[in-house]
Structure 1
Amino acid sequence: MADVLDAPAGRRPTEQPETHAGRIIIISVVAAIGGFLFGFDTAVINGTVGALQAEFAASSWALGLTVSSALIGSAIGAFSAGHVADRHGRTRSMIVASVMFTLSSLGSGFAFSLWDLSFWRLVGGLGVGAASVVVPAYIAEIAPAHLRGRLASLQQLAIVVGIFMALMGDFAIAWAAGSASNPGLFGITAWRWMFFSGLPPALLYGLGAIFIPESPRYLVAKGREQEALTVLRDIEGDTAPSKVVEIRNSLRAHYTPRLADLKGGRLGLQPIVWIGIVLAMLQQFVGINVIFYYSSVLWQAVGFSEQDSLIITVITSVTNIVTTLVAIVFVDRLGRKPLLIIGSVGMALTLGLLAYLFGTAPLDAAGKPALQGAAGTTALIAANLYVVFFGFSWGPVVWVLLGEMFPNRIRAIALSVAAMMQWLANFAVSATFPSLKALGLGWAYGLYAAAAVFSAFFAARYIKETKGRELESM
């Protein structure tokens, strides 16, 4: 990873400001465990969906609500996290999030009905929402400008690794038991072990958050400049005193941002806040989480076995990891905006192809689309290419931009509003997919393709390049 974080293209390493890259990477990786839990907690439900439907005789509506309940908690957690992070600090907020993850893993594993499972998933969502705000804000505030894009991309890398580990764990547990509905270790049903598997990383996150330093920008905002200077010296070396002055000049010391600070413009909010909100929502409207929440059920619906469907889902998550690594390499070289536009075009094409394939597929006796032969292979390739285009663009780049695009004094609170809207969009897409699937997968993928087309226009028209800019200049 150190090689990836050397110097952006066109600039020799000797021209970079003095930074302690090793320490910055370690701090960022610890913070990004929150992203790992974010991905893990939202994806672990994938392997349990079929078993939950059978065990609790769930309707499509009830099942969709259960899967999406974590997203409601995530919206609440995201909305609250900015205020909590500005008042009590970024690292304390991470500790609170780890407690939420821990409670959710335990409660979900011991669930006795869909309703209490939904509650515990909502609790986990509070932690996910908090992490989705605090982690990108913290990494952006701790990282030097020339490394910020790549370090902030660690958030998305951690998310997709978390998704991969959740799906891999689901596959291993289901394989060992024979099915997610069968008894596993100690006679406990396999799907319950899938939820329990989130306990170790949740505890590790809380422990790690105790030992990493607080954000220097938060410390300056609270008038604790000597502590901020100590943190910055460990990160940026001799430039630390001048950096403290820059941060102080961009803030109103001892002032805790409020929602009222976001007001302005003709539509009630500052333009930059609206851009952040639309950016965050479009990341979900292109339908990415349908792939990770419902993919095993989706591929079973078109003829694959449960085991094969889980394997396909794991392969897709590996693809997501690889393409996120591509983004880490190029986000500080090509810039944020070009990656978004390229990704949008690719997603529009692949989603359009999926819409056509599912929309024109013949139906089997149960009324489900039957993708056979070349059509099935083409759909698999298109779905994975879609993940490729999302993985190097809208996946990581949105979190990079949300962590850096807002001015210092409103960053956390503005990010919390944008993240809340992102989670509400996520909920809308995830909760409606079972109904859209009943209407026809061609319609579902057609809607996501339309969102991808709009995302290309939005990125080209409204996103300003932030590559290499100091946060104090935003």
Structure 2
Amino acid sequence: MNETAIKSRAFNGYTVLYSIVAAIGGFLFGYDTAVISGAIGFITTRFDLEPGMVGWTVSSLIIGATIGAACSGVLSDKYGRKKMLVASALLFSLGAFLSALPPGVTGLVIARIIGGIGVGMTSTLSPLYIAEISPARNRGRLVSIYQFAVVTGIFVTFFINAGIAGIGDDAWDVEYGWRWMFGFGVLPGLLYLILLAFIPESPRWLMKRKEAVRALDILERMNGKEAAKSELDEILNMKEEEAGSVRELLSPALRLPLFVGIVLAVLQQITGINAIMYYAPEIFKQTGAGTDAALTQTVWIGIVNFGFTLLALWLIDKAGRKLLLVVGSVSMTICLFMIGYCFHTGNTGYMILFFILLYVASFAISFGPVVWVMIAEIFPTRIRGRATAIASFSLWAADYAVSQTFPMLIEGIGTSRTFWLFTVISVISVLFCVKVVPETKGKTLEQIERQWKERGR
């Protein structure tokens, strides 16, 4: 497809609608990210948990998500993107329901692992599906809807947590409040399951299965007949050049995109975002805030995250992926250093809240949406499912490491040194984004693949 044709394509109603439905999987991700932050304090009291067990209770979902991400690529390449999205919605709903019922922490951990498998699958497949149905000109913005759904889930859930916690006293929260927080997640899970019935299969996956008639019908519905035929021709041309095996990822042409995808996924997590998202109320309690004040301050994190992700949706196809990553990671580095400095000097008032909110804003316009966009668009079509799953697996493994170790780091080396550790990692992310990450703005998936092949020669 020539550049003029690509640029002439505007948002199509069907494309936007299908993208929004697929992106609801991000809402489920955001819900589980935020719900544990409001519940973990009550769970710790209810089951008298030590720091290591607190980390395990939080990170058990990540174990499931890592399993889900690892399986999603092979399964979606075999059975289709849509079928596996449906499976992920079922698993999330089941996990949310079971999380509200257990008499002990073991049952809660098992339930969170089940739900986590669904979250891990959708974290891989939602951005992948959107990338495969989107026109190049608007792909960044459409895939970023996934991250917008994540932060919407976080934003809404912070209010849900605060609302449920306010129904009763502390004793009620310890016994019942956290159960209602988890159980409420059944509703978005079932809504997602229903809406998935109305979206089509990915046309690029159908082409891989040699179902050109179905693929063309879907492309025509989304892009019009002329653009659909041009896009189908380009998919066919690239299909002839692809080996279509996982081994291809280790070829000289594709080692670099695999490396970039994995490192970006890991850096998104180990620069500390989910230490804040999972443990925000507990962090604010260290500044002297009570339970209600800590939950209120956590709501501000959701508001800032929501607002700056909206800004990222507007910027990502204008400013480009690389610029947002560089500017955001520089700002994140400064904020992390200052958070650690405030804890070190005992200045634990509004300065810490300010720098945490600025850090969240910096993440929300850079690593939050951009990483999901890039790992969905930098791999060849025939192995994109498996390659994206490898990157997502790496992301969830890094998330597990942070969520499991954060309480132990706080207890072992202190809050200030923990945030300074994140600062050092953030400096590495700045250097990596400047030196290694390419710009993919405005390129079709096939053009991006061709670009990697040229660099590998």
Asked whether the equivalents of residues 221 and 252 of structure 1 are also in contact (C-alpha less than 8 Å), the reply is no
Q: Which residue of structure 1 lines up, in the alignment, with residue 164 of structure 2?
A: 173
Aligned partner letter, 1:173: I
Deviation by residue 1:16-74 (Cα, 9 ceiling, x = unmatched): 43455222111111000001001112221111111111111111111110100011111
CA RMSD of aligned residues (A): 2.0
In the aligned structure 1, how far is the partner of 2:7 from the partner of 2:444? 14
In the aligned structure 1, how far is the partner of 2:74 from the partner of 2:244? 8
Aligned partner letter, 2:95: S
Asked whether the equivalents of residues 97 and 127 of structure 1 are also in contact (C-alpha less than 8 Å), the reply is yes
Q: Which residue of structure 2 lines up, in the alignment, with residue 209 of structure 1?
A: 196
Asked whether the equivalents of residues 277 and 417 of structure 1 are also in contact (C-alpha less than 8 Å), the reply is yes
User: Does structure 1 residue 352 correspond to structure 2 residue 342?
Assistant: no
**Structure 1 residue 301: Cα displacement:** 2.0
Asked whether the equivalents of residues 11 and 138 of structure 2 are also in contact (C-alpha less than 8 Å), the reply is no
Quickly say closer, same or farther: Cα 1:461–1:198, change in 2 above 3 A. Answer: same
SS of alignment partner, residue 302 of structure 1? coil
In the aligned structure 1, how far is the partner of 2:239 from the partner of 2:423? 41
Asked whether the equivalents of residues 348 and 449 of structure 1 are also in contact (C-alpha less than 8 Å), the reply is yes
In the aligned structure 2, how far is the partner of 1:430 from the partner of 1:65? 8
SS of alignment partner, residue 177 of structure 1? coil
User: Does structure 1 residue 136 correspond to structure 2 residue 136?
Assistant: no
In the aligned structure 1, how far is the partner of 2:281 from the partner of 2:21? 31
SS of alignment partner, residue 100 of structure 1? helix
Map of 1:366-381 to 2, 5 A cutoff?
371=347, 375-381=348-354
In the aligned structure 2, how far is the partner of 1:422 from the partner of 1:302? 30
In the aligned structure 1, how far is the partner of 2:408 from the partner of 2:103? 25
User: Does structure 1 residue 313 correspond to structure 2 residue 313?
Assistant: no
User: Does structure 1 residue 395 correspond to structure 2 residue 368?
Assistant: yes
Q: Which residue of structure 1 lines up, in the alignment, with residue 262 of structure 2?
A: 277
User: Does structure 1 residue 456 correspond to structure 2 residue 430?
Assistant: yes
Q: Which residue of structure 1 lines up, in the alignment, with residue 379 of structure 2?
A: 406
Specify which of 387, 394, 409 is matched with residue 436 of structure 1.
409
SS of alignment partner, residue 197 of structure 2? helix
Deviation by residue 1:335-394 (Cα, 9 ceiling, x = unmatched): 000000000100000101111111232xxxxxxxxx4xxx41111101100011101001
Map of 1:117-196 to 2, 5 A cutoff?
117-179=108-170, 181-182=171-172, 189-196=176-183
Specify which of 207, 224, 227 is matched with residue 220 of structure 1.
207
In the aligned structure 1, how far is the partner of 2:303 from the partner of 2:243? 41
In the aligned structure 2, how far is the partner of 1:59 from the partner of 1:259? 42
Asked whether the equivalents of residues 27 and 151 of structure 2 are also in contact (C-alpha less than 8 Å), the reply is yes
In the aligned structure 2, how far is the partner of 1:257 from the partner of 1:53? 48
**Structure 1 residue 258: Cα displacement:** 4.7
Q: Which residue of structure 2 lines up, in the alignment, with residue 5 of structure 1?
A: none
In the aligned structure 2, how far is the partner of 1:159 from the partner of 1:20? 22
SS of alignment partner, residue 416 of structure 2? helix
Q: Which residue of structure 2 lines up, in the alignment, with residue 6 of structure 1?
A: none
Specify which of 299, 310, 321 is matched with residue 284 of structure 2.
299
In the aligned structure 1, how far is the partner of 2:436 from the partner of 2:352? 33
SS of alignment partner, residue 166 of structure 2? helix
Q: Which residue of structure 2 lines up, in the alignment, with residue 365 of structure 1?
A: none
Asked whether the equivalents of residues 257 and 413 of structure 1 are also in contact (C-alpha less than 8 Å), the reply is no
SS of alignment partner, residue 463 of structure 1? coil
Q: Which residue of structure 2 lines up, in the alignment, with residue 367 of structure 1?
A: none
Q: Which residue of structure 1 lines up, in the alignment, with residue 452 of structure 2?
A: none
**Structure 1 residue 141: Cα displacement:** 0.5
**Structure 1 residue 99: Cα displacement:** 0.7
**Structure 1 residue 443: Cα displacement:** 1.0
Q: Which residue of structure 2 lines up, in the alignment, with residue 4 of structure 1?
A: none
Aligned partner letter, 2:349: G
SS of alignment partner, residue 213 of structure 1? coil
**Structure 1 residue 15: Cα displacement:** 8.6
Asked whether the equivalents of residues 91 and 214 of structure 1 are also in contact (C-alpha less than 8 Å), the reply is yes
**Structure 1 residue 250: Cα displacement:** 1.6
In the aligned structure 1, how far is the partner of 2:430 from the partner of 2:173? 47
User: Does structure 1 residue 473 correspond to structure 2 residue 447?
Assistant: yes
Q: Which residue of structure 1 lines up, in the alignment, with residue 44 of structure 2?
A: 53
**Structure 1 residue 92: Cα displacement:** 0.5
Map of 1:420-431 to 2, 5 A cutoff?
420-431=393-404
**Structure 1 residue 214: Cα displacement:** 0.7
Quickly say closer, same or farther: Cα 1:174–1:258, change in 2 above 3 A. Answer: farther
In the aligned structure 1, how far is the partner of 2:154 from the partner of 2:47? 25
Q: Which residue of structure 2 lines up, in the alignment, with residue 368 of structure 1?
A: none
**Structure 1 residue 409: Cα displacement:** 2.1
Q: Percent of pairs identical after alignment? A: 39
Normalized against structure 1, the TM-score is what? 0.90
Quickly say closer, same or farther: Cα 1:193–1:256, change in 2 above 3 A. Answer: farther
Deviation by residue 1:270-301 (Cα, 9 ceiling, x = unmatched): 22101110010000111000111001111112
Asked whether the equivalents of residues 20 and 235 of structure 1 are also in contact (C-alpha less than 8 Å), the reply is no
In the aligned structure 1, how far is the partner of 2:246 from the partner of 2:58? 30
SS of alignment partner, residue 251 of structure 1? helix
Q: Which residue of structure 1 lines up, in the alignment, with residue 308 of structure 2?
A: 323
SS of alignment partner, residue 318 of structure 2? coil
**Structure 1 residue 264: Cα displacement:** 3.3
Asked whether the equivalents of residues 165 and 173 of structure 2 are also in contact (C-alpha less than 8 Å), the reply is no
Quickly say closer, same or farther: Cα 1:204–1:443, change in 2 above 3 A. Answer: same
In the aligned structure 2, how far is the partner of 1:417 from the partner of 1:262? 11
Unpaired segments of 5 or more residues in structure 2?
A: 449-457
Q: Which residue of structure 2 lines up, in the alignment, with residue 366 of structure 1?
A: none
> Aligned pair count?
444
Map of 1:103-118 to 2, 5 A cutoff?
103-118=94-109
Asked whether the equivalents of residues 74 and 126 of structure 1 are also in contact (C-alpha less than 8 Å), the reply is yes
**Structure 1 residue 242: Cα displacement:** 1.9
Quickly say closer, same or farther: Cα 1:251–1:63, change in 2 above 3 A. Answer: same
Q: Which residue of structure 2 lines up, in the alignment, with residue 418 of structure 1?
A: 391
SS of alignment partner, residue 182 of structure 1? helix
Map of 1:85-104 to 2, 5 A cutoff?
85-104=76-95
Quickly say closer, same or farther: Cα 1:35–1:183, change in 2 above 3 A. Answer: closer
Asked whether the equivalents of residues 263 and 270 of structure 1 are also in contact (C-alpha less than 8 Å), the reply is yes
In terms of fraction of residues, the more helix-rich structure is 2
**Structure 1 residue 190: Cα displacement:** 1.2
Aligned partner letter, 2:246: L
